[in-house]
Amino acid sequence: MATSNLRDIKRRIKSVNSTEHITNAMKLVSTAKLRKAKSTFERTREYFHYITESIEEIFNSTTDVPEKYLAGNREIKTRCYVIMTSCRGLCGGFNTNVIKEADRQMTYDMNPPVIVAVGSRGKEYYEKKCHYIHSEYCAPPENISFMETKGISKPIIEMYDQGEIDEVVMIYTSFVSTLEQQVKTVTLLPFQIDYDPNVMKLDKIVEYEPSVEEVFNYLVPKYVEIMIYGAIVESATCEHAARRMAMESATDNAREMLADLSLYYNRARQASITREIVEIVAGSEAQK
Amino acid sequence: MAKSVLLEVITPSKLFYKGEVELVICRTLTGDEGFMANHSWACKLLDVGELWIQEAGAKDFRVAAIAGGYVDVKDYIVIYTDAAEWSGDIDLEKAKSEKERAEQWLAQPHTKEDYDNILLAKMAIAKSLTRMHVSEGGARRKR
């Protein structure tokens, strides 16, 4: 009895120990990946606000924005959701948080939503729920190129232009710090332009070439493309940060468990030795 | 010395160029156009083509190939493009082989459904041609 108990504990120590090795290795891997993803993310963020700002500025300063891109031009019936999840698990609540938020958004919809899934986790979840998944993108997101994001955004814009969808909502995880990530929901189309009094209204006339409409027809898809690209990069950074955190706590837990188990093991071993001594002593006493 | 203006060239992956320039020439949809300081405000779409930058105080132009985009001229100039390369960084062999591949593909018979792809192939040819020109110092210089 005592020996089998000892063996059990020893087996568990061995298994926890190997789990600890794995989680620790994964932590190191995601730390390295996080560093890489973060540098890409910071590079994109640097110029990123330029483009969005310049586009917003143009929207703010003209009144001739093609109406189809403005909020309130048509009733919103079918929503399109761009959901950014990861392709791998073991990253804590990263995917569940995004999916929870997406589900919350969808509860208000009348028509079944159109889903564009980036990352296989979200895709699998909504496939199970029998939602219509329009397109998916499942390669590792940290080395996605801008050209590849075009493949995601182009069909979205086409659907919007043809009136198949009335609103494009993007749900992704935004990077606050390596320890904190936040799920964010952004409406890409149509534009909600609130004339911000803080934004200086441009008082000069701006030349548009070839024409205002053409410029907008170029800028709007570009804006969507850029936003999606930025969100993918950001979400990849968050994935690694979340995985690092998850793996770190898993490693900590495994170590704690190992400490407890080795304590139990030593106690059990000591107990069995004591018992043996008692038995021997009792035996020799009886022979007297 | 002419007055200089701040120019920023932005691509999705990086800030390609930032600096004071006297003159920047780029190809808009209606033709080559140069912008200097105090240009009237404008927002123009760019075609695949060459980008010429004359830095403040410099005599020579720096040449880059850009893959279309738009230029936003205000008190400063912002050029946004999908891709940009300096003349020195261009891989001439790659540009040549890409052009050949696209041309070969175009030489085959196509159906109407391929319209998008035909456009893409033509775009690829235009891009590689620009790259080839730029790597030799620009088409303008050759004339």
SS (H, E, C) chain A: CHHHHHHHHHHHHHHHHHHHHHHHHHHHHHHHHHHHHHHHHHHHHHHHHHHHHHHHHHHHHCCCCCHHHECCCCCCCCEEEEEECCCCCCCCCHHHHHHHHHHHHHCCCCCCCEEEEECHHHHHHHHHCCCEEEEEECCCHHHCCHHHHHHHHHHHHHHHHCCCCCEEEEEEEEECCCCCEEEEEEEEECECCCCCCCCCCCCCCCEEECCHHHHHHHHHHHHHHHHHHHHHHHHHHHHHHHHHHHHHHHHHHHHHHHHHHHHHHHHHHHHHHHHHHHHHHHHHHHHC
Domain boundary among B52, B72, B87: B87
pLDDT in single tens digits along all 288 residues of chain A: 456 688 899 999 999 999 999 999 999 999 999 998 888 888 877 767 777 777 777 766 666 666 677 766 677 788 888 888 888 888 888 889 999 998 888 887 778 888 888 888 888 888 888 777 777 777 766 667 777 787 788 888 888 888 888 888 899 998 888 888 889 888 887 776 655 555 555 566 777 777 777 787 788 888 888 888 888 888 889 999 999 999 999 999 999 999 999 999 999 999 999 999 999 999 999 988
- Is residue A24 a contact partner of residue A234, using CB atoms and an 8 Å limit? no
d(CA A137, CA A140): 9
User: How close B13 comes to chain A (CA, Å)?
Assistant: 6
Instruction: Tell me: pLDDT of B107 over 90.
Output: no
Based on the fold, state whether residues B55 and B94 are members of the same structural domain. Answer: no
Is the CB of A206 inside 8 Å of chain B's CB atoms?
yes
CB-closest option in A43, A204, A209 to B44: A209
Based on the fold, state whether residues A47 and A154 are members of the same structural domain. Answer: yes
CB-closest option in B10, B29, B83 to A210: B29
Based on the fold, state whether residues A263 and A241 are members of the same structural domain. Answer: no
Q: What pLDDT does residue B115 have?
A: 66
Based on the fold, state whether residues A19 and A119 are members of the same structural domain. Answer: no
Based on the fold, state whether residues B75 and B114 are members of the same structural domain. Answer: no
Q: What pLDDT does residue A167 have?
A: 86
Based on the fold, state whether residues A230 and A255 are members of the same structural domain. Answer: no
Contact B13 A219 (CB under 8 A): no
Based on the fold, state whether residues A16 and A34 are members of the same structural domain. Answer: no
Residue B113 lies in domain: 90-142
Encoded amino acid at B120, one letter: L
Residue B140 has, within 13 A of its CA and on its CB side, a CA count of 13
Based on the fold, state whether residues B101 and B128 are members of the same structural domain. Answer: yes
In chain A, the number of structural domains is 2
Q: Is the peptide bond before A221 cis (omega within 30 degrees of 0)?
A: no
Based on the fold, state whether residues B100 and B76 are members of the same structural domain. Answer: no
Based on the fold, state whether residues A190 and A268 are members of the same structural domain. Answer: no
Based on the fold, state whether residues B96 and B120 are members of the same structural domain. Answer: yes
- Is residue A171 a contact partner of residue A184, using CB atoms and an 8 Å limit? yes
Above pLDDT 90, what percent of chain B?
Answer: 2
φ, ψ for residue A200, nearest 5 deg: -65, 125
Based on the fold, state whether residues B12 and B75 are members of the same structural domain. Answer: yes
- As beta bridge partners, residue A185 has A171
Based on the fold, state whether residues B56 and B123 are members of the same structural domain. Answer: no
CATH of the domain at B62: 2.60.15.10
Based on the fold, state whether residues A135 and A255 are members of the same structural domain. Answer: no
Based on the fold, state whether residues A184 and A270 are members of the same structural domain. Answer: no
In chain B, the number of structural domains is 2
Q: Is the ipTM of this complex over 0.85?
A: no
Q: What pLDDT does residue A193 have?
A: 62
Q: What pLDDT does residue A121 have?
A: 86
Based on the fold, state whether residues B70 and B100 are members of the same structural domain. Answer: no
Residue A103 lies in domain: 26-245
Based on the fold, state whether residues A132 and A14 are members of the same structural domain. Answer: no
Domain boundary among B87, B110, B128: B87
In tens, the pLDDT along B2-58 reads 788 999 888 877 788 888 999 899 888 888 888 988 888 888 888 888 888 888 888
Q: What pLDDT does residue B143 have?
A: 43
Tell me how many residue pairs between chain A and chain B have CB atoms under 8 A apart: 68
> Residue B83: enclosing H or E segment and its boundaries?
none
Show Cβ contacts of residue A249 under 8 Å, excluding neighbours closer than 6 positions. none
Question: What strands lie across the sheet with A114-118, from one edge to the other?
Answer: A132-137, A114-118, A79-84, A167-175, A181-189
CA dihedral (A198, A199, A200, A206) in degrees, to 10, reads -170
For A214, other C-beta atoms within 10 Å of its C-beta total: 14
Based on the fold, state whether residues B102 and B65 are members of the same structural domain. Answer: no
pTM here? 0.81
- Is residue A122 a contact partner of residue A97, using CB atoms and an 8 Å limit? no
In chain B, residues 70-99 whose CB comes closer than 8 Å to chain A: 70, 72, 74, 78, 80, 82-83
CB-closest option in B10, B30, B44 to A51: B10
Tokens of B89: 């960084």
Residue numbers in A near B77 (CB within 8 A): none
Domain boundary among B42, B66, B87: B87
Based on the fold, state whether residues A156 and A225 are members of the same structural domain. Answer: yes
Please report, for residues A145, B133, B134, the alpha-carbon distance to residue B86 in angstroms, rounded to integers and kept in the order given.
Answer: 19, 12, 8
